[in-house]
Amino acid sequence: MKNYKAPTYEKIKKEITKKVGMMPARPADLPQGAWTEQALKVLEERYLVKDKNLNPIESPEDMVWRVAYEIASSEARWGANKKEVLRVAREFYELMVSRKFLPNSPTLMNAGTNNGLQYSACFVLPVEDSMEGIFDALKYQAIIHKTGGGTGFAFSRLREGGSLVKTSSGTASGPISFMRIFDTVTNEVKQGGKRRGANMGILRVDHPDILEFIHCKEEGGITNFNISVAITNAFMKAYQNDEEYELISPKTKEVVGKLSAKRVFNEIADGAWRTGDPGLIFIDKINESTANPVPTLGNIESTNPCVIGDTLVSTKIGLLRIKDIVENGNKGLFFDNRVKNITKSGVSISEAVKLYDLGPKKVMKLVTKSGYEITATLDHRVMTVSGWKEIQSLKINDEILIQSAKGSFNESNKLSFETINNFPNKWTKELGQVLGLLIGDGWLRR
């Protein structure tokens, strides 16, 4: 693998075309989309292929077929024939035209156009502490934005403002001054020629320029970045103890100052109130945990704890599996009120903002004395009587909160499947008791 060289887009495209041929015209029997006036306007402005006079030369359905077939054609590299590729393309088309699923913008813009541009949307670029490293990152940022992607940067490696630059016998201007250059370039280079680029900037809380970073978006400052402060364990300990914490030069690794942790946290909160930024990323917690499955390859910056797809959760229409909610849409989830206030009982309904399928991960099963069980990733947190704890840190006899009030059942009592042989087609108390006896886990509750 050390000497492995990935094939070029052109080579892959040639291989696929040789196996299954060019993209066929959109089949006439495929369904039409139901597009709103606003959707049509956005599609025309950003996504539909245009001629040299910038007039669209495809319909929304043509765009969907273009993307669907291009993505499906990759199956030819793994043994699929033309008939199988068409079947996958039709399935993908129907998902997209019904708006049950849409890929990201670069895919909609670039797939099937043979423009050689990537389909990925998100990139993280290193910013090294040298003029060459900084402007290499700037060059790649412009290229990525031009081709439809967005960029994230960790500026923590850049030495603080005012520190010595030996090669020029001058002083460094600091990471925020260079962020302004990245911000200006973003103004000039639209993503894929369709929209302005998006950036994420992160700086460690122990960087000497952290206060300038926290407020860099105020009073008409940096406008094309979301920013987050990378919070360390040392900072949180200092905050808890109302102490100062050390500021460390990224160049020399020496302590160059101290700040009050509470003062800095208050500055973060004030900045977030004024501009919506900065956010927080708990960088040490992420990289200490199993959230980083490949620590030898370097640190990661974000993750989502999760439960397995078969996990049952309370919704306003009864117990549903997480995977069914992901596939079929939000149903309104029940949350135990004690999560917000340990003394407050009862439940509340809230819509889930996002649900993600994060693929295979190592899991543990939590089983209570009453028979309740949940299988989740090691870093998934559950609420206990003494606060949040990761599943992997729980001990025998720890008390966890399950649900302090009744859930709900679907308002309709009609069964969601067809029945035969005079089987009831509606839920009844008696039917529930019979099914409970047949498939229950042996526990009885009043």
pLDDT in tens, 120-164: 888 888 888 888 888 999 998 888 887 777 888 889 888 887 666
Final residue belonging to a domain, choices 85, 110, 135: 110
Locate 185 and state its tokens: 């370039």
Strand partners of residue 335: 348
Does residue 336 lie within any of the structural domains?
yes
Strands (E), 180-275: 190-191, 195-196, 199-204, 225-231, 244-248, 255-260
pLDDT in tens, 42-83: 888 888 999 888 899 999 999 999 999 999 999 999 889 999
Does residue 440 lie within any of the structural domains?
yes
Rounded Cα–Cα distance for residues 397 and 290 (Å): 24
pLDDT in tens, 237-246: 999 999 999 9
Say if residue 143 is in the same domain as residue 40. no
Answering whether pTM is above 0.75, one says no
Final residue belonging to a domain, choices 89, 110, 131: 110
Structural domain total, the chain: 3
Residue for token pair 């973060």: 268
Does residue 1 lie within any of the structural domains?
no
Q: What stretches of 74-229 show up as alpha helix (H) in DSSP?
A: 82-97, 105-110, 131-146, 175-188, 210-214
Say if residue 151 is in the same domain as residue 55. no
Does residue 316 lie within any of the structural domains?
yes
pLDDT over 50 (residue 305)? no
What's 45's DSSP letter? Answer: I
Rounded Cα–Cα distance for residues 274 and 55 (Å): 42
Final residue belonging to a domain, choices 263, 297, 331: 297
HEC sequence for 85-127: HHHHHHHHHHHHHCCCCCCCHHHHHHCCCCCCCCCCCEEEEEC
Expressed as residue numbers, the domain containing 431 is 304-446
CATH number at residue 410: 2.170.16.10
pLDDT over 90 (residue 301)? no
